[in-house]
Amino acid sequence: MRAKMMLSMLGAAALMHAGGLAASAEENAATKAVEAAKAYSGVTLNTAEEAGLLAMLGININGPEWEKLTGIKVHVNEIPFEELFTKQMLEHKAASGAYDVMLVGPSWVADFARAGALEPLDAYIDKYGVKAEFDDIAPAFKDWMTYDGKTYGLVVDGDVHLLYYRKDIFEDPTNMAEFKAKYGYDLGPPQTWKAFGEVCQFITDKMAPKTYGAGLINTGYMHFFFSERLRTYGGKFFDADTMKATVNGPEAVQALTDMVDQLKCQPPGVQTWGFGESLSALNSGEIAMTITWPPVARWAQGINADEQALSWVPESQVIDKIGYALPPGGHPELASGFIVSVSSDSKNKDAAYLYIQWLHSKQESLKNVMRPLGLRDPFRISHYESPEFQNLWPGAKAYLATLKTGGEQGYADLAILETYKYWDSMARAVTSAIGGKDPKTALDELATEWDSITAQVGLDEQKAAYAAWAAKPSAYRQ
Amino acid sequence: MAAPTNVHAGDGIDPGVFKYLLVAPAVVILLALGIFPLLYAVVVSFQKISLSSQVTDFQGLLNYIRILHDQRFWGAVLHTTIITVVALPIQLGLGLLLAFHFLDDRPLKRIFVALLIIPTVISPLVAGSMWRLMLDDRYGPINQMVGWVMGERMSILWTIQVGLAYPAIVICDVWQWTPFMFIILLAALSNVDQQQLDAAAIDGAGRWQSFRNVILPAIWPVMAIALLIRALDLVRLFDVVWQLTRGGPGSATETISIYAYIRGFQEFDTSYVGAIVVVLIIVLSVLLVTALKRMEIAR
């Protein structure tokens, strides 16, 4: 198995190299950026990166390669995810110029743009860019880059939640027959949350404690998971006319109640699981389903298992056994993702722009989204259709197809003013329900808190921001 | 040759002024370090300084009015009070029992006393992390031991369920700070006049009467100080709770310090946290002065 994987990776590497050579023969955003950036040789760019694997991509690969190509040094500043917004905003408020390149979550763009922290990029794109490459970006992710008609960043990471399931369990004839006899429909990746609960319970009843039906993330990033469920159940965040929070409506209460009820078919202690525990359980074969971010597919497949930075990833016992589907409801949360921006306080704006253009380019971004290191995920049509990527492992084609559909059908993260306060509040409400609080009470408190935040931010301003966000097709799907 | 004369630093300066000059540097430093931040917090509390606000104008008492309506803040006050009211008597009781136990000479007394004090010298952040591991649902020894007793694997979610999160916090704090009470009270008990105890015994006083009428009055000033120190520490409780529950589930174990930290350093609602700090300083100062007077130890 390992030899087969090595061969497929060598093949992929050869194709990547050949692709690189072919690309260099024609004008593309990467080569254009490199040529223009040589004028800034000797400059040092300070970049803000999420601490951990994401930063290692800059430290170990992108930074050294960029320096080799252009003579521009890249100094990566690692910041924990929870502090990314506040740290970068504070540096802007202090006008410190600490970062030339900023890492921005789509839900922060409005706040950063209004604070004047981000350099509008349209002039740079006109000067250095290759517009044809912009047509290659999947529409949902392209949306992230603009605010109020201006471009403030270039997407580098297209996050989509996926449902990972054990094909061997789901395609077992005995399981299929027993499930159909019990529930009256075919065993498969659940299309609804009700079905999710039933499939989860069926597998747990039959296979636990060796394998449980599912193991979802229940600590950390809970706002992503709940806002996806909320909208799948038909709920909305606010009443657009009054800006009163509607996160305690009947749909929301049902969504949270089901979320808590469905813990029963998951392993004991799943309430304490974060991203790492869920990954570990999937890789060890302890769970048959989970919903998480795209890099898990590469790790569950054991790709680059020898990479030192990935030594913490548990060795996969489920290679070639994992299937990919959209989460129940068919509208995955486009959970976080990142764009890279040029700081308005940068003293090296051209050099900074050229670096992010290089990172965002078709040529370089493909390499990055194929690497397990760095947590970058596909966001371009060419990524989904890349033969190199599709051949990275036997299931890669299905994985990319699911990601593509997820990008087309996914829910955008709420992106209004001071979104981080609403997120924090929602995450607390969800974890309190998981900890035993009545879901309705938790959501009533959440709605009160949201109304209070809205009043502090400014009702009219927030109403306008919400209207702009809600007008996006990815805000609420039909 | 003229005889050498003694030259003093204060020569030529009025002695009345000179004494003030001598203490001036210390006073200036104390004011700069102690009073200025406090005054600055008061000023900031009347402004509108936050991460996203574009203007920082004065806005009167708005932040103070917000506090009155902030359920999360009053929740944090309640949580802090619960932990203080539960943990403090336990620490006092256990500390007193240990102190009595080690008052007499016992084999290996010094070694045991030294071992008992170890938790106190550990950083609370480390203690919190250690207890989080101890109470871990899968790998923690506490759950394993409960499982052995119960005869099956137990999944007790100490840090996730509200009903268990408080006991977890109290256990951790009691483990760490009971030795502090113990060592202070041991020192106080060692100084109780043996003759008074003997006289009480001759007069027919029982153990409880001796404790209440002889020992307690003798150790009370020290005990009161120890209680005050621990009570103030508990009101400021942060590290242990942060490591164990992060204030969760939800906000169920959020203490005042954790809430202020989140508001101040995660959401950068600077002026609002300034108002919280001012309110706390006023309330705590009143409580402290009252307590000191009641305990008659401020004379």
- Tokens for A73? 């040094």
The HSE-up count of residue B89 (CA atoms within 13 Å, CB side) is 4
ipTM of the shown complex = 0.83
Instruction: Establish if B63 touches chain A: CB-CB under 8 angstroms.
Output: no
Count interface pairs A-B at CB distance under 8 A: 81
Residue B147 has pLDDT above 50, yes or no: yes
Cα–Cα distance for residue pair A156/A142, rounded to 1 Å = 11
Residue A84 has pLDDT above 50, yes or no: yes
**Main-chain phi, psi angles of B160, to 5 degrees:** -110, -40
User: What CA dihedral angle connects A460, A464, A470 and A472, to 10 degrees?
Assistant: -170
Which candidate from A83, A269, A452 shows the least CB-CB separation from B137? A269
Residue A320: the pLDDT is 96
Look at the block and give the residue holding tokens 């990954």: A279
Overall average pLDDT of the A161-183 stretch: 98
Q: Residue A456: closest CA among chain B residues belongs to which residue? A: B66
Angstrom CA distances, B199 to A270, B202, B203, B205, B212, stand at: 63, 5, 6, 9, 14
Cα–Cα distance for residue pair B254/A104, rounded to 1 Å = 29
Residue A372: the pLDDT is 73
Residue A5 has pLDDT above 50, yes or no: no
Q: Which residues pair with A333 in a beta bridge?
A: A411
- Check B155 against A424: CB less than 8 A apart: no
Kindly indicate the confidence band of residue B16, based on its pLDDT and cuts at 50, 70 and 90.
Answer: confident
- Check A424 against B71: CB less than 8 A apart: no
In contact, B240 and B157? CB cutoff 8 Å: no
Instruction: Please name which of A234, A239, A149 lies closest in space to residue A454, comparing C-alpha atoms.
Output: A239
Cα–Cα distance for residue pair B66/B275, rounded to 1 Å = 9
Instruction: Please name which of A36, A358, A316 lies closest in space to residue A368, comparing C-alpha atoms.
Output: A358
Residue with the bigger pLDDT between A214 and A22: it is A214
- Tokens for A129? 């860019």
Do the strands A73-79 and A44-50 form a parallel or antiparallel pair, or are they unpaired?
parallel
In contact, A404 and A332? CB cutoff 8 Å: no
Residue-averaged pLDDT of chain B: 90
Contacts of B158 in chain A (CB under 8 A): none
Cα–Cα distance for residue pair B197/B21, rounded to 1 Å = 52
Q: Residue A91: closest CA among chain B residues belongs to which residue? A: B51
Q: Which of A468-477, B12-21, B135-144, B282-291 is least confident? A: B12-21
- Check A435 against B137: CB less than 8 A apart: no
Give the predicted TM-score (pTM) of the model. Answer: 0.88
Cα–Cα distance for residue pair A357/A156, rounded to 1 Å = 10
Kindly indicate the confidence band of residue B52, based on its pLDDT and cuts at 50, 70 and 90.
Answer: confident
- Check B51 against A82: CB less than 8 A apart: no
Tens of pLDDT, residue by residue over A227-245, are 999 999 999 999 999 999 9
Cα–Cα distance for residue pair A235/A256, rounded to 1 Å = 11
Residue A247: the pLDDT is 98
- Tokens for B180? 């502090």
Instruction: Establish if B261 touches chain A: CB-CB under 8 angstroms.
Output: no
Instruction: Establish if B252 touches chain A: CB-CB under 8 angstroms.
Output: yes
Residue A243 Ramachandran class (φ > 0 left, ψ -120 to 50 alpha, else beta): left
Helix or strand run (H / E) with residue A151: strand A150-151
Residue A4 has pLDDT above 60, yes or no: no
Instruction: Give the E-state strand segments of A248-355 in sequence order.
Output: 289-292, 322-325, 333-334, 338-342
Instruction: Please name which of A276, A271, A226 lies closest in space to residue A252, comparing C-alpha atoms.
Output: A226
- Check B248 against A115: CB less than 8 A apart: no
Helix or strand run (H / E) with residue B257: helix B256-261
In contact, A138 and A94? CB cutoff 8 Å: no
3-state secondary structure B128-182: HHHHHHHCCCCCCHHHHHHHHHHCCCCCCCCCCCHHHHHHHHHHHHHHHHHHHHH
3-state secondary structure A206-232: HHCCCCECCCCCCCCCHHHHHHHHHHH
Kindly indicate the confidence band of residue A10, based on its pLDDT and cuts at 50, 70 and 90.
Answer: very low
Helix or strand run (H / E) with residue A166: strand A162-166
In contact, A334 and A410? CB cutoff 8 Å: yes
Residue A13 has pLDDT above 60, yes or no: no
Instruction: Please name which of B248, B256, B251 lies closest in space to residue B275, comparing C-alpha atoms.
Output: B256
- Check B266 against A417: CB less than 8 A apart: no
Residue A55 has pLDDT above 50, yes or no: yes
Beta carbons within 8 Å of A15's beta carbon, 6+ residues apart? A387, A388, A391
Residue A53: the pLDDT is 86
- Among chain A, residues having any CB pair with chain B shorter than 8 Å are 82-83, 86, 89-90, 93, 111, 114-115, 219, 268-269, 271-272, 417-418, 420-421, 424, 428-429, 431-437, 442, 445, 448-449, 452, 457
Cα–Cα distance for residue pair A254/A425, rounded to 1 Å = 19
Percent with pLDDT over 70 in chain A: 95
Which candidate from B157, B159, B250 shows the least CB-CB separation from A442? B250
Instruction: Establish if B147 touches chain A: CB-CB under 8 angstroms.
Output: no
Three-class DSSP category at A392: coil
Cα–Cα distance for residue pair B239/B136, rounded to 1 Å = 18
Residue A117 has pLDDT above 50, yes or no: yes
Instruction: Establish if B251 touches chain A: CB-CB under 8 angstroms.
Output: yes
